C-alpha cells in the first residue's frame, strides 16, 4: 500500500488525466443526487478485505458516483452560495495534499504557514483593521464563527462577575443559521432582532434598552452580518460599532459570504465600520475562489484568541519552545491538527495577483445588476427587492410555493440549472420567492436569460 508499483503509477496518471479534464471543462455536468440504495446497487461492495483495485474503484467513481454530485461551479448553479475555485487554486490543492504538511504549528509547517500568512495579510488589509490584527484559516464560516464566539466569551468571562453567568449575544434574523447553531455549542443564548433588512445601530440600541437588568448583564457580544446569505444585505456596521463600543460589547462581523466583496471598489464603502470589529469571518471558499474547505477568522487582538484557544499538553510543549518559535495557527481557532487550507488561495493569489480577484468579484456584482435589469424587463417576473451584493430575490408572478419547488427540480433533473427558492419576510408572513446568488464569473447574461425564460 505504501510501495511504489505499476498500479500506483497507472492510478496517478488516471487521476491527473481526470483532474485536467474536470478543470478544463467550462460547463461541467451539473450532477444530480441519487438514493444511497441506488448507488449501492450500481457500484456494489467497494470496501473489501482484498480491495477492488484502483482502476475498478476509479471507474466506479467516474461512471456513477461523481455524477451524483452537484458541480458547485456550474455557471447556472446559482443556488445557496455557489463556488468557483480558480484552476490554479484547485491544482495547488493537489500540491497541498501531496506535500503532507501538518498546519498546526510553525515548527512543522513553516513553509506552508508562511504562504497562508501572506494570503491572510491581503485579506486583513481589505478589512482596514488596525495594525496587529491577524487571522487564521479555518474549515469554513461555521468554524470561524465558533472560534470568534469562544474568544469573545472567554474574554468576557475574564471578569469574575460574569463567571457564573450564561452568556447572551444579539444578532438579527438575517444572521446565518451557524450563529444560532454555534451559540448552542457554547451554550449561550441568542436574541434575534426581528428584521431581515439591514440591522441598524438604532435597532440594536433599542433592543439593548429593552433588556432586563439580568439579560443586560449576560450580554457580551453582537454579531452583525456583512452580506446576509439570503439577500446579500450588509448591516449598518458603522452604527453597530458605535453601540458596541459604548456598551462595551464584542463586535463580530460575519462576512463569510460577503467578505469577498471587500475587494470590490464599487461596494467597499457599504462595509464601512468593519474596521472597528473585534473579529470577522470571511470564507475564501465562497467569494475568494478557493476550493473547499477554506474559511477565515480574523481578530483585532489575536492575543485574546490565543488565550482562548491555545492547547496545552506535555507532548505539545516543544512547539512553544524558543527553537520552534513562529506563528502557530492552532492557537487561534478550535482545531489542532489542520491542513494548510489557505495554501491553494495563496498560490492562486501569487499567480494571478489581487487585481484579478477584484475583477472576478466585480463580475459577480455586475451579474446581479444584469439579472435585476432582465427581471424588470420581463413581464412574468418581478424584483422582490433591488439586488444586493450578488444576491437577487425575485418572484414569478402568479406562482405558489409548490410551483417554485417543481420548477427547481425540473431544471435540475434536465441538467440545465440549479436555482432554488427561498423565503422573504413581508410584515408577519413569509413569501416563497426565487433567488440567484452569483459567484462564478463565467456565468453569462444568456444563462440568466435562459433561466428566467424557463419560468414562462
CB of 80 to ligand PLP, least distance (A): 7
Minimal distance in Å, beta carbon 258 to ligand PLP? 7
For the bound state, the minimum distance from the C-beta of residue 447 to ligand PLP, rounded and expressed in Å, comes to 22
Handedness of CA 58, 64, 69, 73 (dihedral sign): positive
Do residues 318 and 324 lie in contact, with contact meaning Cβ atoms separated by under 8 Å? yes
**Residue-by-residue DSSP string for 195-235:** -SSPPPHHHHHHHHHTS-HHHHHHEEEEEEEBS-TTT--B-
Q: How far is the CB of 147 from ligand PLP (least distance, A)?
A: 11
Q: Return d(Cα 145, Cα 262) in angstroms, integer.
A: 18
Q: Is 304 in the site for ligand PLP (CB under 6 A)?
A: no
Q: Are 235 and 277 in contact (CB under 8 A)?
A: no
Could you tell me how many residues of this chain bind ligand PLP (CB under 6 A)?
Answer: 14
Sheet containing strand 189-193, strands side by side: 134-138, 295-299, 279-282, 250-255, 219-225, 168-172, 189-193
Quick check: 97 and 107 in contact, CB under 8 A?
Answer: no
Give the DSSP letter of residue 269. Answer: G
Find the length of the chain. 456
Q: Does 176 engage in binding with ligand PLP (CB under 6 A)?
A: yes
Nearer to ligand PLP, 218 or 341 (CB): 341
The DSSP code for 171 is E
Name the segment binding ligand PLP (CB under 6 A); options: 188-196, 241-249, 254-262, 412-420. Answer: 254-262
Residue ranges in 97-156 that form contacts with ligand PLP under rule CB under 6 A:
140-142, 145
Q: Which of 127, 151, 178, 420 binds ligand PLP (CB under 6 A)?
A: 178
Residue 188: partners with Cβ closer than 8 Å, 6 or more residues away: 149, 153, 166, 167, 168, 169, 220
Binds ligand PLP (CB under 6 A): choice among 73, 116, 196, 254: 254
Give min distance, CB of 414 to ligand PLP, in A: 26
The correct pick among 96, 229, 328, 420 for binding ligand PLP (CB under 6 A) is 229
Shortest distance (Å) from residue 299 CB to ligand PLP: 17
Give the nearest distance from C-beta 282 to ligand PLP in angstroms: 10
411 lines the binding site for ligand PLP (CB under 6 A):
no
**Beta carbons within 8 Å of 37's beta carbon, 6+ residues apart:** none
251-279: string of b/e by CB count within 10 Å (b at 16+)?
bbbbbbbbbbbbbbeebeebbebbbbbbb
Nearest partner of 138 among 180, 190, 188, 178, judged by Cα:
178
Site string for ligand PLP, 55-94 (x = CB under 6 A): --------------------------x-------------
Nearer of residues 58 and 292 to ligand PLP, judged by Cβ: 292
Residue 296 sits at φ, ψ, to 5 deg, of -150, 140
Indicate which single residue of 109, 295, 329, 364 sits in contact with ligand PLP (rule: CB under 6 A): 295
**Is residue 280 within the footprint of ligand PLP (CB under 6 A)?**
no
Task: Using the rule CB under 6 A, give the single segment among 253-261, 269-277, 327-335, 440-448 that binds ligand PLP.
Answer: 253-261
**What is the SS3 assignment for 285-347?**
HHHCCCCCCCEEEEECCHHHHHHHHCCCCHHHHHHHCHHHCCCCHHHHCCCCCCCCCCHHHHH
Between 140 and 372, name the residue whose CB sits nearer to ligand PLP: 140
* Near ligand PLP in 189-228, by CB under 6 A: 225
By the rule CB under 6 A, 256 interacts with ligand PLP: yes
User: All 3 cell numbers of residue 168?
Assistant: 447572551
Least Å distance, CB 237 to ligand PLP, is: 14
Contact residues toward ligand PLP (CB under 6 A) are 81, 140-142, 145, 176, 178, 225, 229, 254, 256-257, 283, 295
Amino acid at each position: 500500500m505504501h510501495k511504489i508499483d505499476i498500479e500506483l503509477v497507472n492510478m496517478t496518471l488516471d487521476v491527473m488525466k481526470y483532474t485536467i479534464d474536470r478543470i478544463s471543462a467550462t460547463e461541467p455536468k451539473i450532477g444530480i443526487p441519487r438514493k444511497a440504495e441506488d448507488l449501492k446497487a450500481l457500484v456494489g461492495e467497494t470496501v473489501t478485505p482484498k480491495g477492488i483495485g484502483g482502476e475498478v474503484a476509479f471507474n466506479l467513481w467516474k461512471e456513477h458516483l461523481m455524477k451524483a454530485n452537484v458541480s458547485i461551479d456550474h455557471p447556472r448553479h446559482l443556488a445557496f452560495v455557489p463556488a468557483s475555485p480558480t484552476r490554479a487554486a484547485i491544482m495547488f490543492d493537489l500540491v497541498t495534499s501531496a506535500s503532507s504538511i501538518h498546519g498546526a504549528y510553525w515548527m512543522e509547517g513553516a513553509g506552508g504557514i508562511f504562504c497562508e500568512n501572506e494570503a491572510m495579510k491581503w485579506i486583513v488589509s481589505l478589512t482596514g483593521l488596525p495594525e496587529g490584527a491577524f487571522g487564521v484559516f479555518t474549515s469554513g464560516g461555521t468554524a470561524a464563527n465558533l472560534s470568534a464566539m469562544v474568544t469573545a466569551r472567554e474574554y468576557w468571562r475574564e471578569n469574575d462577575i460574569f463567571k457564573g453567568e450564561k452568556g447572551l449575544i444579539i444578532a438579527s434574523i438575517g444572521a446565518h443559521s451557524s450563529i444560532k447553531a454555534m451559540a448552542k455549542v457554547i451554550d449561550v443564548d441568542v436574541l434575534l432582532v426581528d428584521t431581515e433588512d439591514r440591522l441598524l445601530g438604532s435597532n440594536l440600541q433599542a433592543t439593548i434598552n429593552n433588556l432586563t437588568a439580568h439579560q443586560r448583564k449576560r450580554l457580551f457580544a453582537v454579531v452583525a452580518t456583512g452580506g446576509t446569505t439570503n439577500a446579500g444585505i450588509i448591516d449598518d456596521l458603522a452604527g453597530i460599532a458605535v453601540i458596541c463600543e459604548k456598551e462595551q460589547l464584542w463586535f463580530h462581523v460575519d462576512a463569510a459570504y460577503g467578505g469577498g466583496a471587500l475587494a470590490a471598489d464599487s461596494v467597499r464603502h457599504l462595509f464601512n465600520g468593519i474596521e472597528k470589529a473585534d473579529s470577522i469571518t470571511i470564507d475564501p471558499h465562497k467569494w475568494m475562489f478557493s476550493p473547499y474547505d477554506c474559511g477565515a477568522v480574523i481578530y483585532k487582538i489575536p492575543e485574546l484568541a490565543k488565550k482562548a484557544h491555545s492547547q496545552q499538553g506535555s507532548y505539545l510543549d516543544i512547539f512553544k519552545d524558543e527553537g520552534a518559535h513562529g506563528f502557530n495557527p492552532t492557537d487561534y481557532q478550535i482545531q489542532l491538527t489542520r491542513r494548510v487550507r489557505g495554501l491553494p488561495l495563496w498560490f492562486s493569489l501569487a499567480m494571478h495577483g489581487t487585481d484579478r480577484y477584484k475583477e472576478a468579484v466585480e463580475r459577480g456584482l455586475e451579474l446581479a445588476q444584469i439579472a435585476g435589469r432582465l427581471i424588470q424587463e420581463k413581464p412574468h417576473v418581478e424584483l422582490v427587492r433591488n439586488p444586493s451584493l450578488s444576491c437577487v430575490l425575485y418572484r414569478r408572478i402568479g406562482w405558489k410555493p409548490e410551483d417554485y419547488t417543481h420548477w427547481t427540480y425540473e431544471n435540475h433533473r434536465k441538467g440545465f440549472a440549479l436555482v432554488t427558492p427561498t423565503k422573504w419576510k413581508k410584515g408577519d408572513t413569509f413569501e416563497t420567492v426565487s433567488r440567484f446568488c452569483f459567484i462564478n464569473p463565467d456565468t453569462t447574461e444568456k444563462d440568466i436569460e435562459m433561466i428566467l425564460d424557463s419560468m414562462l
